[in-house]
Amino acid sequence: MMAKLDRDGVGIHYEIHGKGPTILLSHGYSSTSRMWDGQVAALKDRYQVIVWDMRGHGESDYPADQSRYSEALTVGDMLALLDKAGAKEAIVAGLSLGGYMSLAFHASHPERVRSLMLFDTGPGFKKDEARAKWNETAHKRAETFDAKGLAALNTSDEVKLTRHRDATGLAGAARGMLAQQNDRVIQSLDKVAVPTLVLVGANDTNFLAATDYMAAKIKGSTKVVIPDAGHAANLHQPALFNQAVESFLARLPTG
């Protein structure tokens, strides 16, 4: 099923596949739900899999107002998707920005999270200087999208699959969702009490330290390194990625 969710006038594209326990998969910045096609195919026989396009991305709306892009609104979109799917709780999962938003969702709505799967991602920054540097990069990306349009898209594998109508939404999302306001998410890691998979591609050098940090801070987490895979671990090594995910899911307590 493909549909649009109306979030206060902003249309959010989503798809629900299959039946069973709910998995919510969130894509990375400047990617779309299409990056999960291989996981949907592998999981939909046993799970209800929700994929969606974040605001400013893919088939969702690209609001002109910058204030319509934020971490809080994105977390709200995720909550609305679970409500729409009738899921009291879900396995909340995502790659890169989608993984960060999954942690942000858990920090706001822990009672809705049965388990977390964090792929090729990081929890943000404790130090203001490090966050400021990250945000500077995010704002530069926005400026490049403003200047060059979709020609500014990078050619990483999870981005190559995507179709955006124009670059205005990606610029808005860079400023409002990729840029981070505070250290709330990284400070929430030691409160995570649900089973958590922390997975990274062995060649995803920008996220190896963050992966170790999250695995150390989240009690009882499972860490997996996928060999010969970069940032889009699910696309570089789909069989190994799906195997890691399915083996983690098989061990989740039922009920």
What are the pLDDT digits (tens) for 185-234?
Answer: 999 999 999 999 999 999 999 999 999 999 999 999 999 999 999 999 99
Question: What pLDDT score does 226 carry?
Answer: 98
Question: What pLDDT score does 161 carry?
Answer: 83
Percentage with pLDDT > 90 across the chain: 95
Say if residues 26 and 33 touch (Cβ distance below 8 Å): no
Over range 122-129, report the average pLDDT: 97
Question: What pLDDT score does 254 carry?
Answer: 79
Say if residues 161 and 144 touch (Cβ distance below 8 Å): no
Average pLDDT for the chain: 97
pLDDT band at 1, cuts 50/70/90? confident
Inter-CA distances, 142 with 135, 157, 161, Å: 11, 20, 20
User: What does the alpha-carbon distance between residue 123 and residue 106 come to, in Å, rounded to a whole number?
Assistant: 12
pLDDT band at 160, cuts 50/70/90? confident
Strands 2-7 and 10-17: antiparallel
Q: If you ran DSSP here, which 8-state letter would residue 125 be given?
A: -
Over range 88-93, report the average pLDDT: 98
Instruction: List, in order of start, the domains of the chain with CATH numbers.
Output: 2-250 (3.40.50.1820)
Q: Is 254 helix (H, G, I), strand (E, B) or coil?
A: coil
Count Cβ neighbours within 10 Å for each residue of 172-206 and write b for 16 or more, e otherwise: bbbbbbbbbeebebbebbeebebbbbbbbbeebee
Question: What pLDDT score does 207 carry?
Answer: 97
Question: What pLDDT score does 2 carry?
Answer: 81
User: What does the alpha-carbon distance between residue 92 and residue 207 come to, in Å, rounded to a whole number?
Assistant: 19
